[in-house]
């Protein structure tokens, strides 16, 4: 295990070492995270660093990827992969030759290490600014410790890569790689990947990636196939980012026009199967209507997750409110909230709240506001039904970085008037980015703290949802 850590660390730091004397390396990183904490505890994270340097006919590159996941303290994903490569293109030709050194660590599939060195011959089938398609193949040699046995053998590698620059800000990428034993083609590993990346601004981008691995020969109860879908952020370490142009407003269809209802739907989550079986799904519908003095909103959302066949989350929320601005910066409103959470043993919680509010600061679409009011709450939790009066306070903020990208947050407190120890503190932090005039990528982090949870349940529930929102 220690040797594999040293090898992976060497591959990770090699591009930085090369960069010490050269200034034209380009480094791009990506990171994805999904988590829940409280009555269910899950963590799934991905990390990648890609480095490339082009000098005349030569191209040097290094790709590092790591995946880690936990569910209720048990490791469900653990993988490190690295590909170090150099190629030389033949003058006035689409052909190129090169070599690569590949490393794989995947204990969930009983791969302690797999190191392969290959000679490659490749061909650029399509090579335009918008479309790029190339293939490469060659012989090599593999050293590995797999299924508790060390081995070394003559090997081969074949790969195909496709890249489509859909717009100036959005691209689609796909690859298929196969490495295996020359004398036993059943001992092969297939890795397929496809994803979409959209520029946010400067060095930042958003990425949605699906990855599938087929391990060929397996034993000790491990499965031959693993699938994983992740969504996360990308970052370019090069000056000027990915040379993305300024981000214009391409999301006009989603904006609420005066007096009309605009409806959007949210779909997101994560999925992994094979040696790990864990999945989560988040769905929602949001309808908004605005005029000069009023705003109305209806939101309905639900979450469900499973790990190895056991339920890890199940909840639903309804938010309905209407607001009237009678004299800026002051406004009044009425809201109705309904909540259900099976893992928190909450059958239902209903709250009706009239409120008065004030914009603490407002600059176009950017604002900070506060709302206060009395709530009437009825709930059934842990088999106990209760109705009580509860003061309500909410602080909201929203910041638009450009017409396509914004962050928003909300912090709410609602406590029982006759028993101050019975209160609920909920918070929300969201980030969304339009990738077309009808679709945007969305990341939403929510946390609910119930000071008096049902017996046997935890007080805190944290959820992170990443997905797409569509204009309907």
Q: 399: exposed, middle or buried (C-beta count within 10 Å: 0-12, 13-18, 19+)?
A: middle
Shared domain check, 287 and 189: no
Establish if 194 belongs to a structural domain: yes
Phi/psi region, residue 129 (left: phi>0; alpha: psi -120 to 50; beta: rest), is alpha
Same domain, residue pair 50 and 14: yes
* Confidence at residue 8, expressed as pLDDT on a 0 to 100 scale: 39
Strand 58-71 and strand 278-290: the pairing is unpaired
Of 320 and 200, the one with more pLDDT: 320
Q: Are residues 349 and 422 in the same domain?
A: yes
Instruction: State the chain's maximal CA–CA distance in angstroms.
Output: 83
Give the pLDDT mean for 118-123: 95
CA dist., res. 339 & res. 297, Å (int): 17
Is there a domain that residue 245 lies in? no
Report which secondary-structure segment, H or E, holds 300: strand 294-307
Distance between CA atoms of 310 and 319, rounded to whole angstroms?
29
DSSP line for 443-465:
EEEEEEEESSPPTT--SEEEEEE
Q: What region, left, alpha or beta, does residue 421 occupy, with left being phi > 0 and alpha being psi -120 to 50 degrees?
A: alpha
**Is 246 inside any structural domain?**
no
Tokens describing residue 239 = 């000056």
Domain tally, the chain: 2
Kindly give, in sequence order, each residue whose CB lies less than 8 Å from that of residue 149, ignoring residues fewer than 6 positions away. none
Cα–Cα distance for residue pair 173/164, rounded to 1 Å: 6
**3-state class (DSSP) for residue 9:** helix
Question: Who's near 240: CB < 8 A, 6+ residues apart?
Answer: none
CA-closest candidate to residue 453, choices 374, 343, 377, 376: 343
Q: How far is 364 from 409, CA to CA, in rounded Å? A: 17
* 387-401 average pLDDT score: 91
Q: What is the pLDDT of residues 326-370, one digit of tens each?
A: 888 899 999 999 999 888 888 999 999 999 999 999 888 899 999
Residues 296 and 231 in one domain: no
285 and 334 belong to one structural domain: yes
Q: Is the peptide bond before 88 cis (omega within 30 degrees of 0)?
A: no
Domain end (from 236, 271, 289): 236
Picking from 130, 108, 151, the residue whose alpha carbon sits closest to that of residue 278 is 108
- Polymer length of the chain: 472
pLDDT reading at 251 higher than 70 = no
Within a domain: 435:
yes
Q: Does pTM surpass 0.85?
A: no
**Distance from C-alpha of 78 to C-alpha of 256, rounded to nearest angstrom:** 44
Which pLDDT score is estimated for 330?
92
158 and 289 assigned to the same domain: no
Q: Do 169 and 306 fall within a single domain?
A: no
Helix or strand holding residue 126 (H, E): strand 111-127
Per-residue confidence band for 115, with pLDDT thresholds at 50, 70 and 90 = very high
Return d(Cα 242, Cα 30) in angstroms, integer.
13
Decide: residue 247, CB within 10 A, 0-12 exposed, 13-18 middle, 19+ buried. buried
Per-residue model confidence (pLDDT) at position 269 = 60
- Does the residue 117 lie in any domain? yes
242: in domain:
no
Average pLDDT, the chain: 79
Position 227 in a domain: yes
Q: Which residues contact 30 (CB under 8 A, 6 or more apart)?
A: 46, 47, 48, 207, 232, 233, 234, 235
Answer yes or no: is 365 within a domain.
yes
- Same domain as 40, residue 176: yes
Q: Rounded distance, CA 431 to CA 387, Å? A: 35
pLDDT per position as a tens digit, 412-449 = 998 888 887 888 898 988 888 776 666 777 777 888 88
pLDDT computed for residue 271 by the predictor: 61
| Overall average pLDDT of the 187-212 stretch | 79
Q: Do residue 98 and residue 33 come from a single domain?
A: yes
- Kindly state whether residues 206 and 293 are assigned to the same domain: no
Name the residue among 53, 56, 59, 64 with its Cα closest to residue 18.
Answer: 53
Question: Which pLDDT value is given to residue 235?
Answer: 60
pLDDT (0 to 100) of residue 442? 76
Phi-psi sector, 215: left (phi>0), alpha (psi -120 to 50), beta: alpha
- Looking at the structure, tell me whether residues 167 and 260 fall in a common domain: no
**Do 293 and 226 have their domain in common?**
no
Domain boundary among 187, 202, 236: 236
- Looking at residue 320, what is its pLDDT? 92
Report the range of poorest mean pLDDT among 3-17, 364-378, 389-403: 3-17
| Domain harbouring 301, CATH code | 2.40.160.40
3-state secondary structure string across 327-348:
ECCEEEEEEEEEEEECCCCEEE
For the ranges 169-178, 251-260, 382-391, which has the lowest average pLDDT?
251-260
Domain that holds residue 293: 256-471
């Amino acid at each position: 295990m220690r040797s594999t850590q040293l090898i992976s660390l060497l591959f990770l730091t090699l591009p930085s070492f090369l960069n010490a004397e050269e200034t034209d390396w380009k480094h791009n990183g990506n990171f994805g995270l999904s988590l829940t904490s409280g009555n269910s505890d899950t963590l799934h994270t991905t990390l990648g660093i890609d480095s490339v340097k082009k000098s005349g006919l030569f191209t040097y590159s290094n790709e590092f990827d790591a995946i880690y996941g936990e569910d209720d303290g048990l490791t469900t994903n653990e993988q490190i992969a690295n590909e170090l490569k150099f190629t030389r293109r033949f003058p006035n030709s689409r052909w190129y030759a090169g070599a690569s050194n590949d490393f794989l660590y995947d204990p969930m599939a009983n791969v302690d290490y797999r190191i392969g060195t290959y000679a490659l011959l490749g061909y650029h089938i399509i090579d335009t600014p918008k479309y790029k398609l190339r293939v490469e193949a060659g012989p090599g040699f593999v050293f590995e410790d797999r299924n508790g046995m060390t081995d070394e053998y003559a090997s081969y590698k074949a790969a195909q890569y496709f890249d489509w620059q859909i717009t100036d800000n959005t691209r689609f990428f796909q690859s298929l790689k196969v490495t295996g034993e020359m004398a036993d083609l059943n001992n092969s590993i297939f890795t397929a990947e496809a994803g979409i990346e959209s520029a946010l601004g400067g060095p930042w981008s958003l990425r949605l990636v699906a990855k599938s691995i087929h391990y060929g020969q397996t034993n000790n109860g491990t499965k031959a196939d693993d699938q994983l879908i992740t969504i996360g952020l990308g970052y370019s370490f090069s000056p000027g980012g990915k040379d993305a142009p300024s981000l214009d407003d391409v999301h006009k269809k989603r904006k609420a026009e005066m007096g009309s209802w605009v409806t959007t739907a949210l779909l997101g989550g994560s999925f992994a199967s094979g040696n790990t079986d864990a999945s989560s799904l988040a769905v929602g519908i949001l309808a908004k209507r605005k005029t000069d003095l009023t705003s109305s909103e209806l939101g309905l959302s639900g979450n469900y997750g499973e790990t190895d066949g056991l339920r890890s989350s199940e909840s639903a929320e309804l938010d309905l409110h209407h607001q009237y601005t009678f004299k800026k910066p002051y406004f009044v409103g009425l809201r109705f909230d309904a909540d259900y959470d099976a893992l928190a043993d909450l059958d239902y919680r209903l709250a009706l709240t009239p409120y008065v509010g004030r914009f603490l600061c407002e600059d176009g679409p950017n604002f900070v506001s506060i709302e206060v009011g009395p709530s009437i709450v009825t709930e059934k939790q842990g088999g106990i039904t209760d109705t009580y009066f509860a003061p309500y306070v909410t602080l909201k903020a929203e910041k638009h970085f450009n017409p396509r990208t914004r962050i928003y947050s909300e912090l709410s407190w609602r406590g029982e008037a006759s028993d101050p120890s019975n209160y609920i503190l909920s918070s929300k932090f969201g980030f969304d980015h339009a990738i077309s005039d009808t679709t945007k990528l969305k990341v939403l982090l929510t946390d609910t703290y119930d000071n008096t949870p049902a017996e046997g349940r935890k007080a805190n529930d944290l959820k992170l949802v990443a997905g797409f929102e569509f204009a309907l």
